[in-house]
Amino acid sequence: MQSFVDIWQYMPHGMCLLWQPWLVTLWAGSDLIIFLSYTAIPLALLTVLRKRQDIPFSGLVVLFSSFILLCGLTHLMGIVTLWYPIYPWVGMLKLATGLVSAATAVVLFRLIPTLVALPSPAQLSEANSKLQAEADAHQDTLAKLKSLVADLQAEAAAHEATLAKLEDLVAERTEELHEANTRLAVQTREAVHRSANLLSVVTSLTRQTARGHERTEDFIEALLGRIHSLAMATSTVVRGDDHLSGDLATIMRQQLDPVLLTYGKRVNLDGPPTQIVSEAAQQISLAVHELATNAQKYSLSQDAASQVTISWGVEGADEDQRFVLVWRETHPTGETASDTPAGEGGFGTKLLTRIVPQVLRGEATRSIDDGVLEYRLKAPASAVLANPEDTDTATLAARLVDENFGLK
């Protein structure tokens, strides 16, 4: 330990250089430059290691920095020993430097396989190029996927618009079908109701006609004539559509067809085009049938000079409008017409003067004066011309026939 303290027993290193100024300066200057460089290098390495904590083998970097720094200190001590012979201390420093150097060498040799396996800058550059190309390819694929998604979204929007249109069209067609089914149901119920009413009228006519005839042939002839008049009126009015009305002139011609064919110009029709509802057509047809049957029996067939004129029209205005039908049967000699039974005072007369006008909510008169028989029927225009859905009239006709005339 005394050797570390009593250093003056050694000779300064400058004496070995004979204290020549230029040699001392060269020696000391070179060591100083080496010391400064060896000090700067570790500082740079440690600075990089502090800022880049992801650098692999950081312990090896620390060992290198320590080894280089200790080497720099030995050169610094070399400058000091030119004047101060602190050789024991310099020896200890060199020992530390040797130990750190040995440890660095050992660690370095052990890491040789790992360091060799590290990719070179060229390999890293190539790998980076490949990664960049792959990234570019992924970007292109991503761009194509985005474009495809946009196209799919546009197509989906178009399909949604088409689906919305189809839904609207289906809803519209469904509504039309519902309306058509509703109209069909109404027409079906109307047809069933009218058929039931017509059967009620036919049943009442059959029962009352049978009461007024003792002979089967007369009963059958009268009944078939009345049923035929009803059928003709109904077939004229019910045309297979939703307009349950018919032209009065057409109904008249169908009822009077046998008379017109037989007596031609002796039977005249005079009236404007007039649409009447189904029940009014049935009642007027029954009345015209009764009048035509009587005229054939007692007037037209008995006197070639007799004539029949049927006229109709509407009188008044607004709510006071009334439908008027006039049957005028003339006989120039004035002999036969005044004696015409005109229904024999039985069911036919009651049908003309009571049933038909009551069903149509009107009134009727029948008069014979100076060879002229006139039947005049008046009824509210609404009962004849207006609402075709007033289907209670046929039922009323059957009830009137049964209640008022069934017991007489």
- Report how far residue 100's alpha carbon sits from residue 70's, in angstroms, rounded to the nearest whole number: 8
307-315 and 267-270: which strand pairing?
A: parallel
pLDDT of residue 241: 44
141: how many CB neighbours lie within 10 A of its CB? 10
Q: What is the pTM of this model?
A: 0.44
| Three-state secondary-structure class, residue 118 | coil
DSSP type of residue 344: T
* Closest C-alpha to 358, from 383, 326, 381, 327: 383
| Three-state secondary-structure class, residue 246 | strand
User: 67 near 97, Cβ under 8 Å?
Assistant: yes
Which stretch of DSSP H or E encloses residue 369? strand 363-369
pLDDT tens, N- to C-terminus, the chain (408 residues): 555 667 778 889 888 888 999 999 999 999 999 999 999 999 998 898 888 877 787 888 888 899 899 999 999 999 999 999 988 899 899 999 999 999 989 988 888 888 787 777 787 788 888 989 989 998 989 999 999 899 999 988 898 888 889 888 898 888 888 887 776 665 555 554 455 555 555 565 565 555 555 666 666 766 666 566 556 555 555 444 444 567 899 888 888 888 888 888 889 999 999 999 888 888 998 899 889 888 888 888 877 888 999 999 999 887 789 999 999 998 776 654 444 444 445 778 888 899 899 989 999 999 988 889 999 999 999 889 855 444 444 445 555 555 555 544
- Report how far residue 130's alpha carbon sits from residue 222's, in angstroms, rounded to the nearest whole number: 113
* Closest C-alpha to 289, from 331, 232, 226, 239: 226
User: 175 near 373, Cβ under 8 Å?
Assistant: no
